[in-house]
Amino acid sequence: MFKNPYNILNYKGVPGARIQSLPQNYHFELTMETWWSAVQRARVYSDFTGLDALYSYLLKSSTIVRAAVEKRLRPLKSRTFAVIVNGKEDVRLTEKLKDSAFIRELIYQRGLANFTFARVVGITKDHQVYTYPLRNVDIVNRAVRRMTYEIQNPIYVKSHVNLFWMQATFDAEDTLGLLEPVARDYINLCNAQNNWQTASQFLAYQQQVMYYENGDEKMEEAAQVAASQVGLGQVIVTGKSTDEATGKVIKDLELENVYGSAAADTFRIFKENIEQLRGSIMQLILGSSLLGMSDKNTNSERLVRAHLKLFRDITESDARDVQDWFNLPETKTKLAYLLDEPDIATCTFRVKPSNYIDVGDIEVYINMLKSLGLTPKRGFIEKTGLSVDDVDFNDENAQNISKGRTRVSKVREDGATKRSIANVALDYTKRLFNWNRSDRR
């Protein structure tokens, strides 16, 4: 169970919204009881002290979880959010926000809020970023407590132009961020690893059995004493006699090794359990277990692309969450003040498409365009990772992409072309569906 630590208070925060917080207390048992105590205190009493300690310990102690979180949020920091003013993109403002370090940090922290449930970020005058501890965050009032355990006179985020409130957008009312179920599986994973280590150390030594003559109480007592002395550095004293007729040696006590399959079965059971828990953590964070477990190799290109598609869907959802947060009136007003750009207060943020096209998709798209007599533009070439300087453009809108000796030219945008495009797309979808049917042989 979590206990409130007794330590010296530290002053934290940005000018105008400074708080006093206790140093994090990591001296607790990582058990299911600890997890449930932290969750209940957060849900029932809005006390996030235990949850803050649990989440902080999880991100700092587990390289598996930390790597998965970074892998999911790293694409988010590279996304560009266009600034739309009066229906048109203001390229200057878009580039200014793209090149701003604290804007990228705000994007990252908003993505991290999906894991920790809520975050409060402060910006100093020189655009330095500070993140307030979760234990000081007042969820009910959307504020920051002046002291870790204080419930009166909170610092309301809406009243400070340099404070930003971020909260997960999950619909489930009992969800305290993605790290809540991750922490539960991580605790079970640690327990399984500890039990595996204990069992492997026990089963690493040979099992032995001591024999004595049935019905001989004296010999049984001697066997009990001898059995207690089996081990490194111990000496077992026993007698033996020789049969005069046969010359065979007869031992008073006999020690034999016992072999079994317990070690192999134990290894298999614990290994499968640990891999299942790791897989569930990766599925929750990255959308699939394949992307988070490099030791799981596959020769199926279609399977890998399916897992990558799931991961890109998740990253697109994260980008949409950041877009919705940027478009909050409170957020736009504060950004307009901090960046000294009044147009941001009335603008609309729109996330730009990810500047990436999968290699397999490139081949499909090129073949489809060739069959329709269409040609890609410069933007398509850039998204493939190539430079436009490496491609020969004979026309701004119609590139010379040929198949054999056939030159591809521009196609009229009429109804016949639109119907042709729809038919090709439908045919391609049908072929994919037939290929992925479970009854295909």
Reference 354, options 397, 398, 384, 325; nearest CA is 384
Question: Which of 354, 376, 373, 356 has its CA nearest to residue 365?
Answer: 376
Structure tokens at 5: 């630590």
pLDDT-based confidence at residue 227 (cuts at 50, 70, 90)? confident
Burial class (CB in 10 A: 0-12, 13-18, 19+), 264: exposed
pLDDT of residue 103: 93
Which of 209, 258, 210, 208 has the alpha carbon at shortest distance from 238?
210
- What ranges make up the beta strands (E) of 360-400? none
Q: How far is CA 344 from CA 39, 99, 298, 337, 353, in A?
A: 38, 16, 47, 9, 21
> How high is the pLDDT of residue 109?
94
The three state secondary structure string of 63-97 is HHHHHHHHHHHHHHHCCCEEEEECCEECHHHHHHH
What's residue 433's pLDDT? 55
Q: How much of the chain, in percent, has pLDDT values that exceed 90?
A: 22
Q: How confident is the model at residue 412 (pLDDT cuts 50, 70, 90)?
A: very low
Q: Please identify which residue in the block is written with the tokens 């007869």.
A: 250
The phi and psi torsions of 105 (rounded to 5 degrees) equal -70, -40
Tell me the range of 1-10, 185-194, 259-268 where mean pLDDT is highest.
185-194
Which pLDDT belongs to residue 419? 58
DSSP for 273-286, please give it: HHHHHHHHHHHHHH
Residue 404, pLDDT > 50, answer no
The span from the CA of 430 to the CA of 438, in Å, is 14
Q: Which residues contact 3 (CB under 8 A, 6 or more apart)?
A: 25, 28
The dihedral over CA atoms of 251, 255, 256, 260, expressed in degrees to the nearest 10, equals: 150
Collect all residues with Cβ–Cβ distance below 8 Å to 191 and sequence separation of at least 6: 31
> pLDDT category, 156, cuts 50, 70, 90?
very high
Lowest mean pLDDT of 111-125, 206-220, 303-317, 409-423, name the range: 409-423
Interatomic CA distance for residues 133 and 119, integer angstroms: 8
C-beta of residue 20 within 8 angstroms of C-beta of residue 148: yes
**CB atoms inside a 10 Å sphere around CB 30:** 17
For the ranges 132-146, 234-248, 342-356, 359-373, the one whose mean pLDDT is highest: 132-146
Q: How many residues does the chain have?
A: 441
Both structure tokens of 136: 């000081």
Rg (CA), the chain: 33
Q: 272 near 266, Cβ under 8 Å?
A: no
pLDDT reported for residue 417? 55
